[in-house]
Amino acid sequence: MRQRVLIAGTSPLLAGRLAARCLAAAPGTEVVLVSAALSRPGQPAPDRRELARFVAGCAGGDEAAEAFGAERLSVVCAEPHAVAAELTAWAAEQVWCVVPGWDRSPARGARADTVLTGALLGALPGLGARGYVHVGPDTAPDEDRAHRALERLAVEACLDAGVSWRVLRTPPVVDAWAPALGECPPGAHRLLGALHSVRAEIEDRAPGWFERHPLRVADAAGLGLSLLDAERAAGELWRAGAPGELPDGFATVPRPAPVPLTDVLARGGAVHGIDVRPLPEGESPGAEDRLLDLRLSDVRRHAVPLGNRTGPGEHAGARPAPGTAPGAGAPAAPPLSPAAQWDLFGAVRACQSSRSGVREPKLRRRVVDVAGRPLVLFDGGNGEGTPLLVLNALGQGPGFLNRLCAHLTPYHRLATWQVRGTERADPDWGVPRQLDDIEAVLEAVGWERAHLLGWCTGAKIATAFQQRRPEAVASLVFLNATFRQNDRWDGMDTKYESDLAAVCRALDRGPEKAARMLDLLAPGAVGGKGGSRGDRDAGVLGVLSPALAEEVRRPFRDAEVLVRYARQLVDLWRLDSAAQAPRVRVPTLFVSSEFDGISSPARAREAARCFPRARYAELAVAGHYAPHDRPALVAELITEFVRAPHEVAGLVRDAEITWHIDSEGAAR
């Protein structure tokens, strides 16, 4: 009977490299690879085929052919909570639990790692395992109590079961495959991810901007990053935990000597076509610099002072444990050479670029008859939970929300529609008729209950529908919401809202003026000033993406459409959502933007305090079109909120997000 090794991990990158090591080192061994990676918007977990291809690529040549020709590799993909059920089908002489703690959300990652560890330890007797290897992060004990507790749990469980054990620790790694596997380990990968995402967001607004402008970074001097190649880390881990007569004990993969963070930024920036410079002393960062700085926050947390050769998981005078990995406790290994860094960073960027194209949501388009008029409906997506119903802003087409929907549909069933009332053939279509349309959409897609997502003016309509049909609404999500109301002069309106209100009231009384007012209203690049921080300039981040140019002009394309749009807004502004809010008993999430110059973040934040079960998150250095500009982050907020509304503020801790209200009755 062949020996079988079962390798399960929340990191498919590291677990897959260990599987390849095992296949190459032990020709008579069968490997079961269990990927328990959490999948989320912007970071989807790989499927079985992708993982098998990755392992084959790592094993290489004859070993890969033998692995698949003789069916020596089995791949299982399951959420952490479903792993226990999958394990009942297997037996294995040795079990590896790979939980390196690399999730961007420490709370979410620790929960997944705990569930996976518990499932594997509970299954040891049934698996018939004689050895257990636990792979965790190399961090200081007082900085990562959760993973140290898992190590203790593993040792105790193995002692009780009479199973030999090894506890291994590894620093974060760098690997060209990481983006393809949906992973972004701490350190260099998050630095490269920050550069890639900032470039993509700015180039979407202003192609060629980086040919004329640098990005400036503060507080990088004196810090360094350890660049540990993933293949090397897997080799050290395999030698320290491979099946055999190794004694029980601990081992740590040695960290390479740190590379100055300024050098890594310069090389990573050059690979991405960005001139990254230090911020001169005394100068203030621009909005673009601030965005990069926020996305580098986590990188600085994992950096080390350049004069400190002691890693996070070590202390002065520490001794290697019996059976430690080769080099553990010895001086730091040489860092990656500059040439190796260029090659590796270039390979990572190529992988990033291959996965970052603009995606269209996979929604079917159909036309249904509602109230004697055609209604254009889009629906589709995956997921078993309560579906999402997306309410667009009045007068707008679906293009604003396409990118957001593309990030949501892999995880949720979703429906949206073309809001009616501005086409020439439409009769007056006020709030009551908008609510009728929501009912009709729910009936057309066959849903009795849904989470309602309202963008901009859609937030007030969503609130009104929840009051009409409370049993049909599971929760409310408001994106860059406007809660403007007639006869409220409290100074919270943006300049755009004030100007729009004056013009719309004038058109409601005198529609013949519409042709002269067309050029006064189209927002264009509005959204870069006048947000919650006064008149601070968002720079290029306040420029409208060319992809939205036609969508923005939709309500302003001719005089007749403009009059209809103006009357819809005047009707909406009569609606007092603040009076309805105290009766809203479902969880409510507000997502606003610091530089929203169209919908007032200050008024939205004030409105959030009226909703009994509200959370309020504000995106830094973002404008009104954040669902288009940062769809992955907004989709992650929505996904975590509808799964666990009471925990969303703890699960989505990002430097770009400020939680002003993060629990019931707790306003910051």
What values do phi and psi take at 399, rounded to 5? -60, -30
Asked if residue 64 has pLDDT above 60, the reply is no
Rounded Cα distance between 432 and 461, Å, is 9
**Lowest-pLDDT range, 31-35, 587-591, 663-667?**
663-667
518 has pLDDT over 50: yes
pTM of the predicted protein model? 0.92
pLDDT in tens, 375-414: 999 999 998 899 999 999 999 888 899 999 999 999 999 9
CA distances from 195 to 45, 103, 188, 302, 342 (A): 22, 19, 11, 17, 15
Q: Are 552 and 522 in contact (CB under 8 A)?
A: yes
Burial 405-444 (b: 16+ CB within 10 A, else e): bbbbbbbbbbbbbbbbbbeeeeeebbbebbbebbebbbeb
Phi, psi of 456 (to 5 degrees): 55, -115
Site of tokens 């396409």: 402
pLDDT in tens, 9-62: 999 999 999 999 999 988 889 999 999 999 999 889 999 999 999 999 997 755
8 A C-beta contact, residue 35 and residue 45: yes
Say if residue 102's pLDDT is above 70: yes
Q: What whole-number distance in Å separates Cα of residue 644 and Cα of residue 376? A: 32
pLDDT in tens, 346-358: 999 999 988 876 6
Closest CA to 532 of 620, 602, 464, 459: 602
Q: In Å, what is the CA distance from 208 to each residue of 203, 286, 405?
A: 7, 18, 28
C-alpha triplet 379, 384, 387: angle, nearest 5°: 40
* Range in 183-187, 456-460, 552-556 with the lowest mean pLDDT: 552-556
Residue 317 confidence (pLDDT): 33
Token couple for 525: 């690049």
Per residue in 240-259, is it b (16+ CB within 10 Å) or e — as a string? Answer: bbbbeebebebbbbbbbbbb
Measure the CA–CA gap between 290 and 179, rounded to whole angstroms: 24
User: Would you say 4 and 33 are in contact if contact means Cβ atoms under 8 Å apart?
Assistant: no
Residues 291 and 184: their CA atoms lie apart, in Å, by 18
As a whole number, mean pLDDT of residues 595-617 equals 94
Q: Residue 82 carries which DSSP code?
A: G
Binned at pLDDT 50, 70 and 90, residue 425 comes out as confident
Query: What number is the average pLDDT over the span 69-73?
Result: 71
pLDDT at 302 exceeding the cut of 60:
yes
629-643 per-position pLDDT tens digit: 999 999 999 999 999
Assess contact for 614 and 498: CB atoms under 8 A.
no
Beta bridge partners, 215, equal 276
Structure tokens at 15: 């677990």
pLDDT at residue 386 in the model: 96
Closest CA to 296 of 668, 656, 667: 656
Give the separation between CA 438 and CA 461, rounded to whole angstroms: 9
In DSSP notation, 380-420 reads: EE--SS--EEEEPPTT--GGGGHHHHHHHTTTSEEEEE---
pLDDT at 63 over 70: no
Mean pLDDT computed over 446-462: 97
CA gap 78, 84 in Å, rounded: 10
Is the pLDDT score of 528 beyond 70? Answer: no
Tell me what pLDDT residue 667 has. Answer: 44
pLDDT over 90 for what percent of the chain? 72
Mean pLDDT of the residues in the chain: 89
Q: Please, what are the domains in the chain?
A: 1-170 (3.40.50.720), 363-488+572-667 (3.40.50.1820)
